[in-house]
């Protein structure tokens, strides 16, 4: 017991009695605030049971993992994505386990499709209580091999998609209250080499999400911003690779499978849903990402210098150049080796194959 208080004792010993009392009062006050916050957080926890939750990009990967967890809590699920086969596979799996689930084909980069989809859901199924903006796209490769098309696709998916869905659910949520979870990325706080379109668009989403939280609180709408690092969802198969695509893909999969640099999708999803449940402002889910975020706060210059060294070790320009290939078109012996086993299993488990 004494060991826990040794740092405080070393601070108190050389101090005057008056100063010691002040410090003790400050410590007691901080402890009391922490207790009050913990109690308030528990009392204000949002119950997902019976709530209608829309997950964009919900047919595979992280969206499907979250859908499974929410189904266990009794949520009514609406999943939207562009691929009808993937949607039907997800629906059959979830419905087979007793979930109440509706699937809707929708491209979130098209405002009219989003508006029509949400109108249909709210008229025919149920008003939406929770919106999870999860749909994503990845372009990996040297920035010199990127074109305006890659930046445009990333912005449309990660920024305009959440704008369209939020504006569509807002009229009902303003009356009923609700929750919104915007799944950005640690790349939305630290721009990552060879993922510049992705990072830039995720920065836009973080700005949108934090602004929405401030403005929508008065309507009892809580907005949470998630900035996860790499997760083992199986999604690299669907990444768009440029330049030396095979080398880019192999490195991506190895980083995605490594337990030091990435985390399991289930654990990450659980953390993000817990933050949503308690109305937290934000959540960063992986230790590697948290450490990077802390370093960036302390010294942005040092962080970018380190990332410049990382960039120097990555594949350069050339290869297929400005053309692009999907991850599953870029497989090699290395990308299918034991180094990537976790990602390969995740792809099989999460409807990515």
Which residues does the annotation mark as catalytic?
A: 198
Of 64, 68, 77, 55, nearest in space to 352 by CA: 64
CA distance 294 to 209: 20
93: number of Cβ within 10 Å = 16
The answer to whether the CB of 221 falls within 8 A of the CB of 174 is yes
CA distance 331 to 186: 26
- What's the sign of the alpha-carbon dihedral 228, 117, 125, 219? positive
233 in helix, strand or coil?
coil
User: Residue 180 burial by CB count (10 A; 0-12/13-18/19+): exposed, middle or buried?
Assistant: buried
170 in helix, strand or coil?
helix
What residue spans of 227-340 are helical by DSSP H? 245-257, 265-277, 287-298, 300-313
317: number of Cβ within 10 Å = 14
Of 187, 184, 179, 197, nearest in space to 280 by CA: 179
Query: Measuring CA to CA, how many Å separate 127 from each of 61, 80, 103, 171, 348?
Result: 25, 15, 15, 11, 33
72 in helix, strand or coil?
helix
The answer to whether the CB of 117 falls within 8 A of the CB of 78 is no
């Amino acid at each position: 017991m004494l060991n826990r208080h040794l740092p405080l004792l070393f601070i108190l010993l050389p101090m005057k009695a008056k100063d010691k009392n002040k410090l003790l009062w400050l410590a007691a006050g901080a402890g009391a605030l922490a207790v009050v916050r913990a109690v308030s957080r528990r009392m204000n926890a949002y119950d997902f049971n019976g709530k209608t939750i829309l997950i964009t990009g919900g047919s595979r990967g992280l969206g499907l993992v979250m859908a499974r967890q929410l189904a266990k809590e009794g949520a009514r699920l609406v999943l939207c994505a562009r691929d009808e086969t993937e949607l039907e596979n997800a629906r059959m799996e979830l419905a087979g386990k007793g979930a109440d689930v509706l699937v809707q084909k929708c491209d979130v980069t098209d405002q009219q499709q989003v508006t029509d989809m949400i109108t249909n859901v709210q008229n025919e199924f149920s008003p939406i209580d929770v919106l999870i903006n999860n749909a994503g796209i990845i372009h990996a490769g040297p920035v010199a091999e990127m074109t305006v098309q890659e930046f445009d696709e990333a912005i449309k998916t990660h920024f305009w998609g959440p704008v369209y869905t939020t504006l569509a659910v807002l009229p009902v949520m303003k009356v009923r209250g609700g929750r919104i979870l915007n799944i950005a990325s640690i790349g939305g706080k630290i721009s990552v080499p060879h993922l510049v379109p992705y990072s830039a668009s995720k920065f836009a989403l973080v700005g949108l999400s934090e602004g929405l939280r401030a403005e929508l609180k008065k309507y009892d709408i809580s907005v949470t911003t998630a900035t996860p690092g790499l997760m083992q969802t199986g999604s690299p198969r669907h990444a768009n690779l440029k330049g030396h695509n095979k080398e880019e893909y192999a490195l991506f999969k190895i980083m995605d499978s490594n337990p030091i640099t990435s985390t399991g999708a289930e654990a990450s999803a659980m953390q993000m849903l817990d933050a949503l449940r308690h109305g937290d402002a934000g959540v960063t889910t992986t230790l590697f990402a948290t450490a990077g975020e802390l370093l960036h706060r302390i010294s942005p210059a040092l962080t970018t210098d380190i990332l410049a060294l990382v960039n120097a070790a990555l594949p350069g320009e050339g290869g297929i150049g400005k053309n692009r290939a999907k991850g599953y078109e870029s497989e090699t012996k290395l990308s299918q080796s034991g180094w990537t086993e976790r990602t390969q299993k995740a792809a099989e488990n999460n409807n990515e194959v």
